Structure 1
Amino acid sequence: MSVPTPLAGLKVIEFTHMVMGPAAGAILAALGAEVTRVEPPEGDKTRTLLGSGAGYFPMYNRHKGSIALDLKSPDGIATARALALDADILIENFRPGALDRLGLGYDALSAENPRLIYCSAKGFLPGPYENRTALDEVAQMMGGLAYMTGPPGRPLRAGSSVIDVTGGMFGVIGVLAALEERHRTGRGRLIQASLFETTVYMVGQHMAQLAVTGKAASPMPARISAWAIYDVFETRDDPVFIGVVTDGLWETFCRLFGLDALWADESLRRNNDRVQQRERILPEIRTLIATFTRGEVIARLDGSGLPFAPIGRPEDMFDDPHLAATGALEPVTLPDGTQTRLPTLPIAFDGQLLARSSKLPGVG
């Protein structure tokens, strides 16, 4: 069965680096668009990042082509313009005004290619902050996500480039909306997405909590949970997360673990009453769970309807049986010839994922 390619026939040109812009292009490429990256003659510096940046290029540049252009030369600019004028979609995430100064901004290009959908991915949307430099971590710190993630007084960034990737996703949402509109109008649009506003959108639930309750949200490690049992529990070997999120599941949980006395206590039958008595019931449950291995806990919970999770690490995902069974990791050849598997776009079309083999593009 062939892999679905719903965006086949669309041409995308990328002037991007790092994560946000490439992530937007990666989504379009996974959906079947023809995506071509424009890189400097020496190659995008993202290719050679070390440490936590070493995975950026392979993760967000599969299924793409590459062309090396010197955008400081007339020939390079001429070629870049020709590519843009032949494209359906352009994605860029350089400093504000950088492509405008090269004659590659939206106004200049759309005058000659009115069907062009131009996605500009920045740190901030137009406004007082628009010329500031922003990265994922800057946005997380500034937008309230780091405050909510770490313990009180210890802001902590999330464990992946969540704002870069989500910002890129919002950019793609805008592109697809503009593409649908273009079917009716024949014209493209300038689409702008940003890191800061993406972060604020993601903490909007906490802003709404203040509006509803009159109390500012506490950081997640210190929050008052909406459910009495919604915690990581230590076992005899490895920890496990367990959630009891309905009154019916409370009955199931008590039955599975022989908590007859807790189930008999009618003051604990309703979730909000259990939340108010967390300090009383949690020690007993922690002590009980600690007598089991993680495997024994999972064996009881699996199929019960109770939310649970082993505490996984990224490297564990390579051997996850569900991902293996569904084909959610696609074969990728790294520049040095190393074979690996990386997550495909987590969307199924008629039950089929979009996984297909890929080789990272060489420079130019």
Structure 2
Amino acid sequence: MRTQVVIVGGGPSGLLLGQLLHKQGIETVLLERKTREYVLARIRAGILETGLVNMMREAGVAERMDRECFVHHGTCISYENEMFAIDFHKLIGQNVVVYGQTELTHDLYDAREAIDATTVFEVENVQIIDADRDAPYVTYVSGGAEHRIDCDFIAGCDGFHGVSRKTIPETVRKEYEKIFPFGWLGILSETPPVHDELIYANSTRGFALCSMRNENLSRYYVQCDQTDKVENWSDDAFWDELKRRLPEAIAEKLVTGPSIEKSIAPLRSFVTEPMRWGRLFLCGDAAHIVPPTGAKGLNTAASDVHYLHEALVRFYRDKDMGGIEHYSEKALARVWKAERFSWSTTNLLHRFPDQSDFDLKMQRAEIESLHYNEIAQRWFAQNYVGLPY
């Protein structure tokens, strides 16, 4: 088999890239190691930056998103019994959209099926060969048989544990990582959200987050020890702890109910450089991970897709390698800014095991500066809604 671009990984970044390339007449084959049903069962965040919303529209897959999404004009931050709003629309004239990543991925799969683009599920032993040469190819096993796809380029959208990043020799790539000493215990519940915008909470007991999927589906988190286990937390214990970390007026309005999903997510910052090796490009979690504070994971993957899509269109339309040669440089410049925002917001809102009394006073001063300083709020708003591509 031959195609122009092989996309390794069937998550939202690979699907969005494939749809955008299709709009420009560029053929793709997408390889996914799991089933479609497995991919769609993943529970992920649902805050979409302006840039990602616009890319969904450009790809022609925004109809349901535009119809069903919730537009958020700001967010709220609480500390102890205080709470303040950061009004994105007032500060910078922009907003974010709440639309579940599962729904977005569902829309992209439906769109890929509608254009009859080749997607191969349940592939095994994917190997990327000769990526540093002019004629790369990918081999994989499906149905017990080995297959080969010759191509012009390979987009590695296969996540942190995928084969794409590991294909780049260790002598070429450099990895940067910070592991945070806590995790997020999260539950999904069929209850109305406690507030019409997200609440990021700092308390003496640790961080908490109140978020939503729709008017009857809420997602809540509390900071927990990185060694904690889900089985240590009953639903009642979770709700009790969440209430303790919220302002009294919010806690009193919280509607509780049985969890329909419960999990603990570790927090880490990770970046690999470069994001291109020859004709192999890394996108999304294959190249970088951010803490979930500030919802930059999917959105940063989308910015990679933007730069890669532009580079590939420029190559096929104009026979110009400039975008390809500078893809890594452009993508990483924005990645590190997103990493900084996620890192700084995580430090602002969480309790760390080694914080001194001085550290806690400085953290409180930072939060109060954000509360009362419009310039600080404008910086926060600009980063939260997404820096320009």
TM-score w.r.t. length of structure 2: 0.24
